């Protein structure tokens, strides 16, 4: 095991990695830009070093500086978290050349899976189903010709990067030229690579992803699936594990495909295979994220596996110590991403100082955050304040717990996405679990509110949701009645004056 690890990141994921290192007995090194000098990850780490001005291209993304700090601090390994340098193959190569262990896959693997066109070809050869489309980068004319011959709807996608950038849906031939221009321009500005390819658009898709873990000894397992279909502009908002209505047969087939994908590229560490699932339960490979995912915590909640510690152990050469037959799903977990955004102003950024920060707590509640009361959310980085993760014995208990936790979560000084989450988790279609990636657009007016439901499917979902809610309410009432009866029986013989005095003490009264 390593003695010291540098975390080349900030915010909640840096804090998350530091916590895992502490449990492993590993010293940690933080880096920080000028505006992050008082950040939580800096306070948590054993050592901290400045890495430059606020813009990430002048601090967290400067490979030479990160490597130099790691050497100066004596760190044997670097954990990149997610974002910044996490999926930069050149950085992984550079760490190897400098004698520092990169906690993640090799640069060759990142390049193979980071370029979506290359990844599609690789998966096709490995027998993993892909969405029908091209496996080559196309010129503007080639895109127009392919769409004309195949017919819309199609998705034009950037071959590099991710996060919904450089993607455009085309529903008619007349939209092609403008969609290509916008997708190419966005890809160029976001990734410095304007390569595009085309896929057929999967109608009413669900976004299901499979978590995989692999060590240096050829062991690969999957940790089941996550449902990531609650999205706004291709950005995940709320995630669940396991997926809604995923049969055991489909789970096993998708899990096997994800393991095959990892084996095809000699993967190491934690990775995620993302799939689209259509209404007929046909699934198609979308992409592979060669890093830890934001939503990894819900998988940890249902499996009991610490994914970050597993990454570190695998990078150090240890065996996974897990077999597929030993892994089980226990209960249900949901994550809500709390962003510094104003839902009432089209999710405009809301930077500022956290005058009050009181995260939710209690049984089954986990908050992964990178802030504290008095900290400042800046405009320079991702606006995530915290990840609120809840676990329940079943999905309805998880939803009830999430509602309670969202109501408890207090943030003042900035606007957050919490009010929007509260609308989502009370929506009958969400409660019924019968949604796809169009949920926010169809049922929440694109994020502007909770618009009226339409059609027989929504009406049926409402009826199912009401039935489930009624059953849950009945069970809760029955449990309360049982507890009350037991309590009454135990107090029956007590002096009523003692009972009155006890109640007065609880209210703060005198004896």
Q: What is the DSSP letter of 326?
A: G
Token pair of 313, please? 């152990």
* Beta bridge partners of residue 352, listed in sequence order: 377
* Beta bridge partners of residue 389, listed in sequence order: 335, 366
Q: How many CB atoms lie within 10 A of CB 94?
A: 19
Q: How many CB atoms lie within 10 A of CB 441?
A: 14
Q: What is d(CA 511, CA 505) in angstroms, rounded to the nearest whole number?
A: 7
Where are the alpha helices (H) located in 413-454, listed in sequence order? 418-424, 428-432, 439-443
Q: What is d(CA 127, CA 364) in angstroms, rounded to the nearest whole number?
A: 39
Residue length, the chain?
A: 511
Q: What is d(CA 182, CA 189) in angstroms, rounded to the nearest whole number?
A: 11
Strand, helix or coil for residue 67: helix
Selected catalytic residue, list 111, 206, 226, 291: 291
Q: Which residues are within 8 A (CB) of 270 and not within 5 positions of it... i.e. 6 or more apart?
A: 211, 212, 213, 291, 292, 296, 307, 308, 310, 311, 314
Q: In what order do the strands lie in the sheet with 269-277?
A: 283-289, 269-277, 206-214, 220-232, 235-241, 332-339, 384-392, 365-369
Q: Active-site residue 291, yes or no?
A: yes
Q: Which residues are within 8 A (CB) of 410 and not within 5 positions of it... i.e. 6 or more apart?
A: 356, 357, 358
Q: State how far the alpha carbon of 225 is from the alpha carbons of 46, 218, 222, 296, 391, in Å.
A: 35, 22, 8, 11, 15
Q: Which residues of 17-29 are buried (b: 16+ CB within 10 A; e: fewer)?
A: bbbbbeebebbbb
Q: What is d(CA 79, CA 101) in angstroms, rounded to the nearest whole number?
A: 9
CA angle, 164 then 165 then 167, to 5°:
75
Q: How many CB atoms lie within 10 A of CB 418?
A: 20
CA angle, 311 then 232 then 332, to 5°:
50
Which positions are annotated as active-site residues? 291
């Amino acid at each position: 095991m390593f003695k010291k690890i540098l975390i080349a990141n900030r915010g909640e994921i840096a804090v998350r990695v530091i916590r895992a290192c502490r449990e492993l007995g590993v010293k940690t090194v933080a880096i920080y830009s000028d505006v992050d000098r008082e950040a939580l990850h800096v306070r948590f780490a054993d050592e901290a070093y400045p890495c430059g001005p606020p813009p990430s291209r002048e601090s967290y993304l400067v490979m030479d500086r990160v490597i130099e700090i790691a050497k100066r601090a004596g760190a044997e390994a670097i954990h990149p978290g997610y974002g910044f340098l996490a999926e930069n193959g050149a950085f992984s190569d550079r760490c190897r050349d400098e004698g520092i262990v990169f906690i993640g896959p090799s640069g060759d693997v990142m390049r193979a899976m980071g370029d979506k066109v290359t990844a599609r070809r690789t998966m096709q050869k490995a027998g993993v189903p892909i969405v029908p489309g091209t496996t080559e980068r196309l010129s503007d004319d080639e895109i127009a010709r392919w769409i004309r011959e195949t017919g819309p709807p199609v998705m034009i996608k950037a071959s590099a990067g991710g996060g919904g950038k450089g993607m455009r849906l085309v529903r008619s031939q007349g939209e092609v030229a403008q969609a290509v221009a916008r997708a190419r321009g966005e890809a160029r500005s976001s990734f410095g690579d304007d390569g595009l390819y085309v896929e057929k658009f999967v109608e009413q898709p669900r976004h299901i992803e499979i978590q995989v873990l692999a060590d240096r000894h050829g062991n690969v397992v999957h940790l089941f699936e996550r449902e990531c279909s609650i999205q706004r502009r291709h950005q995940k908002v709320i995630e669940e594990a396991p997926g809604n209505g995923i049969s055991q047969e489909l789970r096993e087939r998708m899990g096997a495909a994800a393991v095959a994908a990892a084996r095809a590229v000699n993967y190491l560490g934690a990775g995620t295979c993302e799939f689209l699932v259509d209404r007929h339960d046909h699934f198609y490979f979308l992409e592979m994220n060669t890093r830890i995912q934001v939503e990894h915590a819900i998988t940890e909640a249902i499996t009991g596996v610490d994914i970050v510690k597993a990454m570190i152990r695998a990078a150090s050469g240890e065996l996974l110590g897990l077999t597929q037959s030993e892994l089980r799903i226990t209960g249900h977990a949901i994550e809500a991403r709390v962003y510094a955004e104003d839902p009432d102003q089209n999710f405009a950024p809301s930077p500022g100082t956290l005058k009050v920060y009181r995260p939710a707590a209690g049984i089954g509640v986990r908050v992964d955050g990178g802030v504290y009361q008095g900290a400042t959310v800046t405009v320079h980085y991702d606006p995530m304040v915290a990840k609120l993760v809840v676990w329940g014995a079943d999905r309805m208990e998880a939803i009830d717990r999430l509602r309670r936790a969202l109501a408890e979560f207090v943030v003042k000084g900035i606007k957050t996405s919490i009010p929007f989450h509260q609308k989502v988790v009370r929506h009958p279609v969400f409660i019924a679990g019968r949604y796809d990636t169009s949920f926010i657009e169809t049922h929440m007016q694109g994020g502007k509110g909770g618009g009226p439901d339409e059609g027989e499917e929504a009406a049926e979902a409402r009826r199912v949701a009401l039935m489930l809610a009624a059953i849950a309410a009945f069970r809760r009432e029955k449990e309360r009645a049982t507890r009350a009866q037991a309590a009454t029986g135990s107090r029956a013989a007590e002096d009523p004056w003692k009972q009155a005095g006890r109640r007065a003490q609880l209210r703060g009264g005198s004896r």
